[in-house]
Structure 1
């Protein structure tokens, strides 16, 4: 007969989910009809599922999402948004990530582009891809701080942006960037070209990015590496903040 000590050993062996499932089998007569092989298969499946969930949770946390619970399943497809559900679901399969492609989401403020960007990022985490999420201004600030520190952290920081399987840059070109940060951005995008997938979320069309980058040549180089061959998603419709505020008020 199994004792509490036996069940505790599953935790020591880092098979906690298997131990919890075995406890269910012992306590529930409904499992008595299962063969030994069926029970073992059930226990293994429980442990595999648990480890996969933990891995996904770790990837989501490491990505640094502003909305860590954003998911494709919760995206709202209002007619006025002109947002294709089939297209979003295809993107959530992450073939474009595996093909090292680029996606650009464009909309006015409060239309939900950040949520959709992070939902697609979560979908990539579910596929076990390494994701980094950042706002452009935060990315520039972090790089500037690392550069000023002069302790080698700059190279570590910029390398993490260059090497991520999927890099998501939100609020892209909301404000102008300095020349030094334009150079950083160029270096990142040049290194990622053909080696990593990038998702950009912006209020501005690509031809407006020029106005936010010092130096025509630098602006052109950055634009070409992001926009050429990218999949574009243009979101219209109402403010999603107002939509959810009204919806919550009605429910209450």
Structure 2
């Protein structure tokens, strides 16, 4: 991983996550940082060893999850099957967490999903938003309180820094040309 030290990433925390102890402890991980700072890449780097350890893992972008949730509502028993499917993953990566504000149906689903995953699975959140912004992004109120409560108290928080890794990689490639 490029620029680990310059981005302020703690190598020992990354090594610990690579050993998958967070999975057996049912801890969440929040990767928070600017656009292009490597959140999705880091999530994949964390989930890869989990797959090697034969944990059932899945990566989904929040816009795709919202679309799948909407489609599930159109099928008999679709919402129950949807919740069961996403609860069953030992490690679930929710990429682009809170990029779009969830509507009421999505908030209800997120609450149910986080409730069922609490203390049974590990969820990795890749987001541009700091914890202080989550309540508002989740629409405020009791759903936002409950969703946030099931995530933040057992999470390892990693700030991925302010370096745009896409820009860095593009500049490095241009320098080689």
Name the structure where strand makes up a greater proportion of residues.
2
Report 1 or 2 for greater relative contact order, CA contacts < 8 Å, sequence distance ≥ 6: 2
TM-aligned CA deviation for residue 78 of structure 1: 4.1
TM-aligned CA deviation for residue 237 of structure 1: 3.3
1:219 aligns with 2:135: no
TM-aligned CA deviation for residue 155 of structure 1: 2.3
TM-aligned CA deviation for residue 188 of structure 1: 0.3
Alignment TM-score, normalising by the size of structure 2: 0.95
Specify the SS of the correspondent of 2:6.
helix
Counterpart of 1:146?
Answer: 72
Name the structure where helix makes up a greater proportion of residues.
1
Specify the SS of the correspondent of 1:125.
helix
Rounded to whole Å, the distance in 1 between the matches of 2:41 and 2:67 is 22
TM-aligned CA deviation for residue 196 of structure 1: 0.7
1:203 aligns with 2:160: no
Counterpart of 1:181?
Answer: 106
Rounded to whole Å, the distance in 2 between the matches of 1:158 and 1:124 is 22
1:104 aligns with 2:67: no
Higher Rg: 1
The correspondence for 2:83, drawn from 158, 162, 166, is 158
Structure 2, unmatched stretches of 5+, are none
Specify the SS of the correspondent of 1:81.
coil
TM-aligned CA deviation for residue 87 of structure 1: 1.4
1:134 aligns with 2:60: yes
Summarize the alignment of residues 56-75 of structure 1 with structure 2, pairs less than 5 Å apart.
Answer: 75=1
237 and 214 in structure 1: CA distance in 2 versus 1, 3 angstrom threshold: closer
Rounded to whole Å, the distance in 2 between the matches of 1:239 and 1:227 is 26
Alignment TM-score, normalising by the size of structure 1: 0.67
1:92-134 Cα deviation digits (max 9, x unpaired)? 1001111111111100111001100111111110111000111
TM-aligned CA deviation for residue 138 of structure 1: 1.2
239 and 215 in structure 1: CA distance in 2 versus 1, 3 angstrom threshold: closer
CA-atom RMSD in angstroms: 1.3
Counterpart of 2:11?
Answer: 85
TM-aligned CA deviation for residue 157 of structure 1: 2.1
Rounded to whole Å, the distance in 2 between the matches of 1:237 and 1:176 is 23
1:193 aligns with 2:114: no
Counterpart of 1:229?
Answer: 154
**Is residue 165–residue 197 contact of structure 1 (8 Å, CA) maintained in 2?**
yes
